[in-house]
Structure 1
Amino acid sequence: MTRTLRVFRWSADTPERVEDYRVSSGPDTTVLDALVDIQRTQDPTLAFRYACRVGMCGSCAMVVNGRERWACRTRLASLGDGPVSVRPLYHFPLLRDLVVDMAPFVEKLRAVGAALTPRPDAARYDQGSSAAPERQEIDQAIECIGCGMCLSACTIVAHNARFPGPAALNRAFTLELDSRDGGQQARWRVLLSDDALARCHGQGNCTAVCPMGLAPMRSIIRLRQRAPLRLLRR
């Protein structure tokens, strides 16, 4: 079976455009398989990012038929019979074609203090018990691999570049529950600002597109539930 891919193209020296490519497709052919075939046999200038090809790393995240997906997990057969549109993630600077710059994503994580800051009195090698209630709640949110799909799907990011985004707020929630962390005071100064928790409208697009089955919207709600106590401690 032959399928048509309508692929977004852009580079610093060429204008934005969409180019059509026809590829042979079987029942298990993925969008990533098709892009690799196009690059190898039709257009070696086509740029896209991938690594593992087995649905683990998230490098091949892009927007397929209007929805954020991993190209390596998305079979062409699951997308109907018509042309398949492929474009880069939204709300990221473009580098070339389907490749985006992930630096803003990393900066948003850094802005909320996404790295664990050990408390001065925390044991050096304290890993915590997997049976502890805090750990069990953290486990529901900890498997984020940083693919950026939630940020692309977030409508608030489109209007407010200072909004940390779902992944960063989800990470902040896991650290809020981590008894080993000592960076909560500085983190809450960011979370309670006008451009953080208060900006989320609760549409849940982030949860809908997360390929790991996480619920960033739930993490944001849990942070909001804790916010009044933090305000009283100021």
Structure 2
Amino acid sequence: MTRTLRVFRWSPNEAESTRDYRVEAHRDTTVLDALVEIQRAQDPTLAFRYACRVGMCGSCAVVVNGRERWACRTRLGDLGTGPVRVRPLYHFPLLRDLVVDLAPHAVRLRDAHGAFTPRADAAPYASVAGDSRERAAIDPAIECIGCGMCVSACTLVASNPRFPGPAALNRALTLQLDSRDGAHGARWEVLLGDDALARCHGQGNCTAVCPMGLEPTASVIRLRRLGLSQLLGTTG
């Protein structure tokens, strides 16, 4: 079966455009398979990012037919019969064609104190037992791989550059629940400020597109509850 991919094109020296490519597709042909075939056989200038090709790394995240997806996990046969529209993730600076600069993603994580900071009095090699209540509370939010799809789907990221974004807030939850972390106070200053938890609209777009099945929207709700307890002085 022949399928048409309508691909977003842009480079620093060219205006935005779309270009149609026709590829032969089989039952299990993925969007990534088609992009690789286009680059190899039709247009070697087409730029896109990928690595593992087996749905583990998240490098191939793009927007397909208006929805954030991993190109390597999205089969053309599941996308209807019309042209398949492929564009880069939203809310990230463009580098070329389907490739975006993920550096702002790292900046949001940094500004939300997304790095683990050991407590000064933490025991060497401190661990959280796998069968503990603490670990059970953290587990639902720890599998984020930083693909950026939730950030692309978040409408608030576009309107407020100071908003940490769903991935950073999800990460913050795991750290605020971790008894070994020593940056809870600094992190609460960010989370309880004007541009973090209070700004999330709870639309759930981030949860809808997460390929790992995480629920950043639920993480925000949990952080709000913890934050309220923090403000009322009912938790440490």
TM-score normalised by L of structure 2 = 0.98
1:94 aligns with 2:94: yes
- Render the CA deviation track for 1:89-120: whole Å, top value 9, x for unaligned: 00000000000000000000001111111111
2:216 paired residue number: 216
Matches within 5 A, 1:177-216: 177-216=177-216
1:158 Cα deviation after fit? 1.1
1:229 Cα deviation after fit? 2.5
- Render the CA deviation track for 1:150-199: whole Å, top value 9, x for unaligned: 00000111111110000000000000110000001000100011100000
Q: Equivalent pairs: percent with the same residue?
A: 73
Equivalents in 1 of 2:52, 2:127: separation in Å? 29
Greater CA deviation, 198-207 or 131-140?
Answer: 131-140
Equivalents in 1 of 2:125, 2:13: separation in Å? 51
Equivalent AA in structure 1 for residue 132 of structure 2 = A
Equivalents in 1 of 2:127, 2:46: separation in Å? 45
1:51 Cα deviation after fit? 0.2
Q: Is contact 2:128-2:134 (8 Å) kept?
A: no
Equivalents in 2 of 1:205, 1:225: separation in Å? 21
Structure 1 consecutive aligned stretches of length 4 or more whose deviation exceeds 6 Å: none
Unaligned runs of 5+ residues in structure 1 are none
TM-score normalised by L of structure 1 = 0.98
1:145 paired residue number: 145
Equivalents in 2 of 1:137, 1:192: separation in Å? 21
Greater CA deviation, 116-125 or 37-46?
Answer: 116-125
SS at match of 2:72: coil
Matches within 5 A, 1:26-37: 26-37=26-37
1:228 Cα deviation after fit? 1.8
Aligned residues: 234
Equivalents in 1 of 2:212, 2:93: separation in Å? 24
Equivalents in 2 of 1:149, 1:170: separation in Å? 13
Question: What do you get for the CA RMSD once the two structures are aligned?
Answer: 1.0
SS at match of 2:203: coil
Matches within 5 A, 1:48-63: 48-63=48-63
SS at match of 1:106: helix
Q: Is contact 2:54-2:73 (8 Å) kept?
A: yes
